[in-house]
Amino acid sequence: MNSKLNGKKIAVIGLGISNIAVVSYLLKHDLKHLAVFDTRYNPPHLEELPAGLDINLGPLDAKVLKEFDMIVISPGLPLYHDAFKAIVNDVEIIGDVELFARELNENKSKAKIVGITGSNGKSTVTALTGHMLSQAGLNVAVGANFGNAVFDILDDSIDVYVLELSSFELETTSSLHIDAGVILNVTEDHLDRYDGSIELYRQAKHRIFANTKNIIVNREDAGTYPKNAKYCASFGLDDKDYGRKVVGGVTYLTINGEEFIDTRELTIYGTHNELNVLAAMALCDCLGIDRQVQKSAVKSFIGLSHRCQLVRVLDGISFYNDSKATNVASAEAAIVGLSGKHKKGIILLAGGLGKGQDFTPLKRYLGREVKFMYCFGQDAKQLIDLNPEYTKGVLNMRQALNEAFMMASEDMAVLLSPACASFDQFKGYEERGRVFANMVNHLDSK
């Protein structure tokens, strides 16, 4: 345990899964006082807290918070919250990942740490990297923004922690020492949190490189390059470093121009997933993982649910669930990735909460790779207005799917890649994806 916490007054704010794990961790210390706060009067996980704990629900009071030595906030709470702005010079404010890093540093942990961030693809790369390291015989724990809360995976027996790190988590993290780290890409997302500024969002992402030994960047995205540090490897669509090339109509992933694996051996689809594999390979090379082990692991990786996942082929039409595509760049990646496989075109299902994004980049695909787009949800009109000739507004995802199926013909794809968050009509992207897959599986042949 971290002895530096003993005797302190600590507040934990936000009852998400990550902070429930934080509370359990802190209860093992000899604190002067531990209190839990949540702005909601009926937050989730409330019943998981032990009896007798100081619990405070409702609006935050800066005067009360100022009495604490440290505050651990949920990633969902922005640092510009009025209560935090009023005390930022008086009380240390951190997140669970920073507290986790301090625990590892205090106990001189020998575990390696892999850090992964980016606007899109980070969960796939995190899961794939964890799979590759496990196949190499290492004791691996995967967590943070994907998988388990960091304090649920803390264990002295772990060889490697593979952490997916969101910009929100990185905002409050400064002590995490990473052996191999990557920014996969930086595209418009969460701009409602960053005053509409992609630069502020990019700066939050780049905090991952502050204490990273081996930095990996994306050659296709200059926004991933560190400004004040050197990178050790890069991945991209050409055949440099970690890359790809086409030989006789067959695409290979390459390392320094040498063929590593035929992409037909992969079970995850699209150019964006080829880039994800390359990033995972680069991370594993930094940790000295045998390349034959890597290749075997890549072949056996089946991907994650709701991420360009093939649900069914019916009447020669392929239906893909890419519900995790909650921003424009992620939807673009799915379109580009599948367009080579489906030459007759894609019918796109999109819509939901746009989070202040600019949908204009999708316009270039309408009437080309995307033969038609059905739009639903709160911000459907913004999508329809991109090109009314190739778009139509519908009431909901069910209507979008049914009309897309009737329009589609053999060898085409029907792709749910919403480019939007789901909270206007669903509890989250997982529910949206499950509902879509269930509807697809209940379609009858035409």
Asked if 145 is an active-site residue, the reply is yes
Q: Which residues pair with 215 in a beta bridge?
A: 181
- Tell which residue, 232, 204, 238, has the closest CA to residue 217: 232
* pTM for this predicted structure: 0.80
Quick: pLDDT tens for 210-259.
Answer: 999 999 999 999 999 999 889 999 999 999 999 999 999 899 999 999 99
CATH number for the domain formed by residue range(s) 309-442: 3.90.190.20
Q: Annotation-wise, does 339 bind a ligand?
A: no
Domain made up of 100-300: CATH architecture: 3-Layer(aba) Sandwich (3.40)
pLDDT grade for 78, boundaries at 50, 70 and 90 = confident
Q: Annotation-wise, does 120 bind a ligand?
A: yes
Question: What is the structure's pLDDT at 189?
Answer: 65
From the candidates 19, 112, 122, 214, give the one annotated as an active-site residue: 122
- Tell which residue, 255, 262, 305, has the closest CA to residue 285: 255
Annotated domain spans of the chain:
8-90, 100-300, 309-442
Characterize the bridge pairing of strands 250-255 and 242-247: antiparallel
Count of all residues that appear for the chain in the document: 446
From the candidates 19, 145, 273, 321, give the one annotated as an active-site residue: 145
Separation of alpha carbons 203 and 147, rounded Å: 25
Quick: pLDDT tens for 80-123.
Answer: 788 888 898 889 999 999 999 999 999 999 999 999 999 989 99
pLDDT grade for 192, boundaries at 50, 70 and 90 = low
Quick: pLDDT tens for 129-138.
Answer: 999 999 999 9
What are the backbone dihedrals phi and psi of residue 70, each rounded to the nearest 5 degrees, phi first?
-150, 145
Q: Do 250 and 268 meet the contact criterion of CB atoms below 8 Å apart?
A: no
Separation of alpha carbons 348 and 328, rounded Å: 13
Chain centroid to CA 441: how far?
Answer: 27
Mean pLDDT of 340-356: 93
Characterize the bridge pairing of strands 9-13 and 70-73: parallel
- Tell which residue, 288, 267, 304, has the closest CA to residue 114: 288
Give the chain's radius of gyration (CA, Å).
23
Quick: pLDDT tens for 301-335.
Answer: 988 888 888 899 999 999 999 999 999 988 998 99
- Spell out the residues 6+ positions from residue 405 whose beta carbon is closer than 8 angstroms to its own: 314, 317, 414, 443, 446
Q: Can you tell me whether residue 264 is helix, strand or coil? A: helix
Q: Annotation-wise, does 316 bind a ligand?
A: no
Question: What is the structure's pLDDT at 392?
Answer: 97
From the candidates 190, 272, 324, 342, give the one annotated as an active-site residue: 190
Quick: pLDDT tens for 393-429.
Answer: 999 999 999 999 999 999 999 999 999 999 888 989 9
Rounded to a whole number of angstroms, the distance between the first and last alpha carbons of the chain is 62
- Calculate the alpha carbon distances from 118 to 10, 235, 329 in Å: 31, 14, 11
Question: What is the structure's pLDDT at 356?
Answer: 85
Separation of alpha carbons 107 and 352, rounded Å: 45
DSSP label of 353: B
**What's at 154, amino acid-wise?**
L
Q: Annotation-wise, does 118 bind a ligand?
A: yes
Q: Do 221 and 236 meet the contact criterion of CB atoms below 8 Å apart?
A: no
Average pLDDT, the chain: 93
Q: Annotation-wise, does 8 bind a ligand?
A: no
Question: What is the structure's pLDDT at 341?
Answer: 85
Asked if 190 is an active-site residue, the reply is yes
Q: Annotation-wise, does 223 bind a ligand?
A: no
Return the CATH superfamily for domain 8-90: NAD(P)-binding Rossmann-like Domain (3.40.50.720)
Question: What is the structure's pLDDT at 191?
Answer: 63
Place of tokens 């329009």: 407
288 C-beta neighbours (distance < 10 Å), count = 8
Whether residue 387 is predicted with pLDDT greater than 80 in this model: the reply is yes
Question: What is the structure's pLDDT at 153?
Answer: 96
Q: Annotation-wise, does 148 bind a ligand?
A: no
